[in-house]
A = this chain, B = another copy of it.
Amino acid sequence: MSKSKINVGNFFEDFKIGQIIRHAAPRTVTVGEVALYTALYLPRFAVQSSTAFAQAIGYERAPIDDLLVFHLVLGKTVPDVSLNAIANLGYADFKFLIPVYPGDTLSATSEVIGLKENSNKETGVVYVRTTGANQRGETVLSYARWVMVKKRDRDAPVGPEIVPDLPKSVAPSELGKAAPAINVGAYDKALAGSRYFWADYDQGEKIDHIDGMTVEEAEHQLATRLYQNNSKVHFNQYYEAQGRFGKRIIYGGHVISLARALSFNGLENVFHISAVNGGRHVNPLFAGGTVFAWSEVLEKAEIPGRQDIGALRLRLVATKDKPCADFPLYGADGKPDPAVLLDLDYWGVLPR
């Protein structure tokens, strides 16, 4: 009786292709979340920081930071999708579609789009397509994600292997949906902090964001609870002391937000993440580590039909306790540098 009403999460064999999961805990996002997000990461992008700036260029008001939207949507999926996950394997076809403003209520739904048991029969890969919607039912965010999930019972039968066909990158024609028409003439470069617009960046250009940010236990716990992400490994030192690392593992999304905020220095006008092509949490981060970051312009793209903004495909790399003047990523052996935490491939947009 004791656990009959308890959610212990789904195991690999619980997922079925085509299954639709409506996740619990819709969430109204407010200026309260915005202030905390600022206090946790030190973002300084003018559009999200200032209602006056945002309105001048065409937003209704200052929109919610894209990554805060992402964290809130992902957080809802954790109890159903990844409570028994042992690895967060990847993202694809990840698009922001409509701006989110304070007062909007976010809810999330996932569809199981792929299932692949591992040969050890103890785990399998679950692919989901998750959509975040606002209170009007409009999709604000859509992404595919795959995670490695434990089986409850090694011998449980599973269906045929289905691996979805996911795009390597989001096409430029799909970018910019969540950015209103931008009045570039009203975009004040001094207030935004940089004179560099789309035309000023070159493919292959690398930028060391130079600053570093040390993470405390209280900080990542506050962040991850703010996202209502109840993944056990982030909060429970009693169990983690007996676990693989002996300590709490910081939510990977915390590293993404730190790296994005650090990237302001050099990418000040990249005011919006329009899409994520892929991303990998290369190594875990623990409290006490200092996060550094660098970016590379992988590609430049015009957005069809948009003269106001252009897109930069950016690689964002975060490291732990390692400044990025030499852009660390792979070692001489071709393996990732052990200091690398994150290797993210996204489309950012900025004025032309």
Report which A residues bind B (CB closer than 8 A).
Answer: 1-3, 5-8, 22, 24-28, 30-36, 38-42, 44-46, 49-53, 62, 79, 103, 105, 107, 135, 190-194, 196, 200, 205-214, 216-219, 221-223, 225-226, 228, 230, 232, 235-239, 248, 265-268, 288, 290, 292, 321, 323, 325, 327
Contacts and interface: CB of A to CB of B under 8 A. Distances in A.
A14 to B, nearest CB: 16
B35 A5 contact: no
A248 B215 CA distance: 12
A321 B209 CA distance: 37
Given A24-B191, A26-B46, A35-B226, A232 B217 contact: no
Given A35-B36, A192-B24, A225-B40, A321 B52 contact: no
A36 B34 contact: no
A216 B225 contact: no
23 contacts: A2-B208, A2-B327, A3-B208, A6-B208, A6-B210, A6-B265, A7-B194, A7-B265, A22-B190, A24-B268, A25-B45, A25-B49, A25-B191, A26-B52, A28-B52, A42-B225, A50-B107, A51-B103, A51-B105, A107-B191, A211-B230, A211-B232, A216-B216
A206 to B, nearest CB: 6
